[in-house]
Structure 1
């Protein structure tokens, strides 16, 4: 995808022109076959769905932002319904629907509605927002912070092309459980990580996409190459951005510090690559030095240009669209039949009323608050400096999700569960001494250097009588039992 900055206005004329171009491409030249009435009916629904943009724009001008979003939701639903019938209707071109679907998702994102004044002059140049300049001032502040990336709409920087579509399928199928785990983990880390991105003016969806791909929200993840933490910093890169050892703790494992360093890194590389998000992500995975050498001065080059793409490792070729696909799903789960769980991620704390480790707390909390997989991962993520097996003294303060504060008092202070948890945790496992290495087996043969005057018979007399002249002759391929001085013979060991 060539890099494209977001525009501040989208005209209905642009949509109509795009539809006309799609129709021309679908005809394939020659005699144009007129669509059937059923196909025309579906195309009519498509046009109606696209006209939801104009209605939403009017509602936004009137200050009805919620109404505008509702109109776009209805347009998307109408589009989905028509697209479903298109697949079973002969002569219907599904690509028309895919194109409009992509556009309406971007509209729903707030990408093209706000304080713009429509310009019906199709030849007028689009206004490009300056870096740091808010776009769509009538949108709620929270939504602007989600959609903007250094003054550009995040949606416009994510091209849903072939590689991203393939990654979307993977996240929705084989990696679906990983995506859901990442989302749950992130919701409990959000209060620590998101403010770091927000302070740097970066979108939350990008943070989630990187974290989902890098660690799945496992704060203590360490890769085979030595990258560590929820955002997988290499040691040297971490040092560059202030991640170091503090009282024996590697701050790459600190969610807030890791998010801060990641945000600073992303902004540094976005500046170096002229806000080209794909090249920036490639630099994060494959090394910024390598990317700068490949790109040179042409920061407008597409990541998918063969000059760049062909020089990337397969890992980096996969990494970039996979991060973008996860970010896209974070923005548009419902549009992909994906429903993230509702998580109350507000943080709280408990002061231990009896000594306990994180492992013991996990046992006594069980599946409280419908957490079917238990609370070990969350408690460990929220207390990254603690050894989960190390018992913490009474009076120690641990960070926990807010709903667990009351549950702790009920389950983990008195009663059978803390006793059970302590009993399991302190179970004694026999320690067996390391097995001694077995004595080396004796060599089945010995070697003898023939001396002047030796015969085979005299040699065997010197070394015992555990073998015969015929056996030794066979072992050494001797003919007529003849031996010569200096010859090395193999003799059966008599031990």
Structure 2
């Protein structure tokens, strides 16, 4: 049997020890000494011991595996702590071992330890205290979490500098966004994950893209026009079946968007020889552009200077951010991160009285411990509805199952629906916008073109116009000039 949940708790301790060691670690360029060599030898022994523990667990010897694991991690922590005070010891070697241990853990050592994972990791399929109906309905759920085209996801996520920097961002400045994305995703999971599972794609990847693209806000729209939880551009959405249904933009439908996203990734993974980083770069920066960079060598690394140097800054940040969010989805506690328990089981209510989503948000309040309120969740689960539009009695709305009782208790009778309706129907005075001030036509002067003049030179002489201004003002095509031609130039103020 696999080791107990206690053994999983030891990995964060190892991480803490490594971080403490690195905080005071010596220069990695120092000359090796017998003391440093001894620490490196202990490090190697700890790694081999961990692998032995894995093998013992696979053979069913849980007691021996537990004992070997604890001894190995104790040895690793002790060596990491001593590294911090030993001149010439390279703390990065300890980080490398820790990365490798996490990869060994991913999908192998603790693949069946649901109780251990229930404290924070989504692999368990637990939402709250009960087994999720989503997991129960989907065979091979664990495989869909950890594998991508038959390869462990951990083997495809390179723990390089950009990914580690993105991990730090998710754990610090982006942490509120990460937690919001987690909560939003748990309520959307029953619609989105099945689409990925059917395409044999890992759930962690879905979460990583969702967290970076929209944070799980179904109605998100970017400045460039990308829309929905997975931010499809209009033309790309059409290509993968996201069109208009009775005036509703299907990019906002979480299930349809996840299905289209899975189809897109499947297509690009084939084109890029299952190179996950290039596929994500294509999703963000455009597959045509990335294919032109890659040429005939789909095995090239995203971080090859000839590729990386041509990427936009947005794409350089996007790829490691998605991979880091996916990694945290799989290993939250190894980074001192705990996601909240969310019961995302779907349910529904039939309205007993007319109400809008905003009114329901008011009368539901903080039911179920949702201190930020239920507006975002209700919108996400009912993407076709205008949240301000009152729905008639008898309408069926999708809600988290845990809200079915709260609706009956709070939103049918009593003071809360009355208060919600009163606030919603408040009349705000309408004020007409003041008329825009009339713009005076710009004053101009004449200029006769001389031999050798260029539009650039004339613009420079004018002192207050650029080439485009002059071309538009004079109706010039291709910026061609003829000696003797009379141009209008703006009068500088």
Aligning the two structures, in what range does the TM-score lie when normalised by the shorter sequence?
Answer: 0.7 to 0.9
2:343 is matched with 344
Partner of 1:164: 163
Gap runs ≥5 in structure 1 = 1-25, 115-139, 442-495
Distance in 1, matches of 2:298 and 2:40, equals 42
- Mapped to 1, the partners of 2:437 and 2:404 lie a distance apart of 56
Cα shift readout 1:286-314 (whole Å, capped 9, x = no counterpart): 10011111111101100011111111111
> Measured at CA, do residues 411 and 81 of structure 1 come closer, stay the same or move farther in structure 2, by a change above 3 Å?
farther
Query: 1:201 corresponds to which residue?
Result: 200
Query: In the TM superposition, what is the alpha-carbon distance from 1:96 to its structure 2 partner?
Result: 2.3
User: What is the SS of the residue equivalent to 2:433?
Assistant: coil
Structure 1 residues 89 and 440, CA gap change in structure 2 (3 angstroms): closer
Q: Secondary structure at the match of 2:349?
A: strand
Spell out the pairing of 1:214-363 with structure 2 (5 A cutoff): 214-363=213-362
Assess if the C-alpha contact under 8 Å between 1:49 and 1:78 holds in 2: no
Tell which structure's C-alpha radius of gyration is larger: 1
Residues 305/246 of structure 1: CA separation in 2 closer, same or farther (3 Å cut): same
Shift of the 429–81 alpha-carbon distance from structure 1 to 2, 3 Å rule, reads: farther
Cα distance, 1:357–1:77 mapped onto 2, change above 3 Å: farther
Aligned partners of 1:212 and 1:323 also within 8 Å? yes
1:434, distance to aligned residue in structure 2 (A):
3.3
Q: Choose from 52, 59, 62 the match for 2:60.
A: 62
- Find the aligned partners of 2:141 and 2:52 in 1 and give their Cα distance: 24
2:250 and 2:323 mapped to 1: Cα distance?
26
Shift of residue 72, structure 1, vs aligned partner: 5.8
Instruction: Tell me which residue corresponds to 2:398.
Output: 399
**8 Å contact from structure 2 (residues 54, 109) kept in 1:** no
> Which structure shows the higher helix fraction?
2
> Which residue matches 1:47?
45
- CA drift of 1:185 comes to 0.5
Q: Deviations over 1:418-453 (max 9, x none)?
A: 100000000011112333456899xxxxxxxxxxxx
Aligned-residue Cα RMSD (Å) equals 2.7
Which of 82, 101, 104 is matched with 1:104 structurally?
A: 101
**Residues 316 and 73 of structure 1: CA distance in aligned 2, closer, same or farther (over 3 Å):** farther
Q: Is residue 167–residue 325 contact of structure 2 (8 Å, CA) maintained in 1? A: yes
Q: Deviations over 1:321-371 (max 9, x none)?
A: 111111111111111111111111111111111110000000011111111
SS for the counterpart of 1:354 is coil
Q: For each residue in 1:395-420, what CA deviation from the matched residue of structure 2 results, as whole angstroms up to 9, or x when unmatched?
A: 11111111111011111111111100
Q: Unmatched 5+ residue regions in structure 2?
A: 1-26, 112-138, 441-493
**Residue matched to 1:18:** none
Confirm whether residue 415 of structure 1 aligns to residue 422 of structure 2.
no
Structure 1 residues 379-410: Cα deviation after superposition (integer angstroms, max 9, x where no partner): 10010000000001111111111111101111
Structure 1 pair 272–93 and aligned structure 2 pair: CA distance change class (3 A): same
Distance (whole Å) between structure 1 residues aligned to residue 242 and residue 322 of structure 2: 23
Q: CA deviation at 1:45?
A: 6.4
Superposed, 1:15-164 pairs within 5 Å as: 32-35=32-35, 40=38, 44=42, 47-48=45-46, 50-62=48-60, 79-80=76-77, 82-110=79-107, 141-164=140-163
* 1:386 match: 385
Bigger mean CA offset, 291-300 vs 92-101: 92-101
- 1:434-481, Cα deviation, whole Å (9 max, x unpaired): 33456899xxxxxxxxxxxxxxxxxxxxxxxxxxxxxxxxxxxxxxxx
Q: In the TM superposition, what whole-angstrom CA distance separates every residue of 1:82-115 from its partner, at most 9, and x where no partner exists?
A: 534533444433122111101110111025899x
Query: How many angstroms apart in 1 are the aligned matches of 2:81 and 2:181?
Result: 31
Residue 372 of structure 1, CA deviation: 1.1
